[in-house]
Amino acid sequence: MVASTGGHLKQLHRWRLHLDEVQGPFSWITFDKQQSRSMLADEDVEYVKVIGSRDPRGALRSLPDAARIVRRQAPSAIVSTGSAVALPFMLAGRARGVRCLYIESAARSQGPSLTGRMVARIPGVELYTQYPGWADGQWRYRGSIFDDFMVAPSEPVEDRPLRVVVTLGTLKYGFERLIHRLLEILPADAEVLWQSGSTGVGGLGIEGCESMPEDELAAAMREADVVVSHAGVGSALTALEAGRLPVLVPRLVRFGEHVDDHQNQIATELESRGLAVNVTPDALDLETLLVAAASRVVTGSEVGC
């Protein structure tokens, strides 16, 4: 099981429950981060050098290490959700005749990522999309990671201070627009956990943390009334698993908040499923937060589906 940390690892960790054709035990290849140490605490894990997104040269430089790991572990299959770390392991795996499955991220509703396009050139890799709209003879559709979830009514927020989790992920880009808007609209007595990532909060009168272990962030979301998040797949999935209908605010490239605008695709897809509120910072208000707080998210297994 090969994935970068963040949303890629979060998706793969959940996909392991649905891989009918690939059986465990699983061995994990990822980066050494707080998220991976928390999420994979009881798993067989091998940490590898970080490969940045959109860094195919870095991925190819990692090929000798990937080849050594594949040769030593001799897996029956390699499964990856990306991003660039998938490339060396798919190359090394196919060179040894190992079955390789690449599941494109749920962030990509309109076509494959750069990594997906490169992996698709490797003969024999089985390719899967999470969107039927761009499935074809090469990319197969077998469902989405979001298919597990549905929305149910919740109890109104009690007459007490609003409990809010704000999570901006661990990207190297700031998201000042969202922080500043929340400071404008949140009640003075709101209890807020700020996972602020690379966004500077000095001088704003709040205490932010750059990152949190997966289990601590999930626990905080379960206790919250509402989760406000950038529109990253990992953050959205964590909120859904915690039973919260996330308020998603996409980062935009024109403000220097990401490398492209694919977060719009994520937020739009989840809103169309009724699994998120999709909003811009300017349109975000207290009523939006209260609407999200009035819903809860459940899985099919919880309601007998």
pTM summary value: 0.89
pLDDT band at 302 (very low <50, low <70, confident <90, very high): low
Q: In terms of Cα–Cα distance, which of 34, 17, 7, 54 is closest to 270? A: 7
> Is the separation of the CB atoms in 127 and 138 below 8 Å?
yes
- CA–CA separation, 82 and 10 (whole Å): 11
Please tell me the number of Cα atoms within 13 Å of 69 on its side-chain side.
23
> Is the separation of the CB atoms in 236 and 263 below 8 Å?
no
Residue 300 has pLDDT above 70, yes or no: no
Among 6-15, 54-63, 203-212, 255-264, where is mean pLDDT lowest? 54-63
Query: H helices of the chain, where?
Result: 7-15, 34-39, 56-61, 63-73, 86-95, 114-119, 176-185, 214-223, 233-241, 262-272, 286-293
pLDDT band at 24 (very low <50, low <70, confident <90, very high): confident
At residue 173, the pLDDT reads 93
At residue 301, the pLDDT reads 52
Residue 162 has pLDDT above 90, yes or no: yes
Q: In terms of Cα–Cα distance, which of 139, 137, 13 is closest to 79? A: 13
Residue 230 has pLDDT above 80, yes or no: yes
> Token pair of 73, please?
């572990």
Residue 68 has pLDDT above 50, yes or no: yes
* Residues pairing with 256 in the sheet: none
Length of the chain: 305
Mean per-residue pLDDT of the chain: 93
pLDDT band at 75 (very low <50, low <70, confident <90, very high): very high
- CA–CA separation, 229 and 218 (whole Å): 13
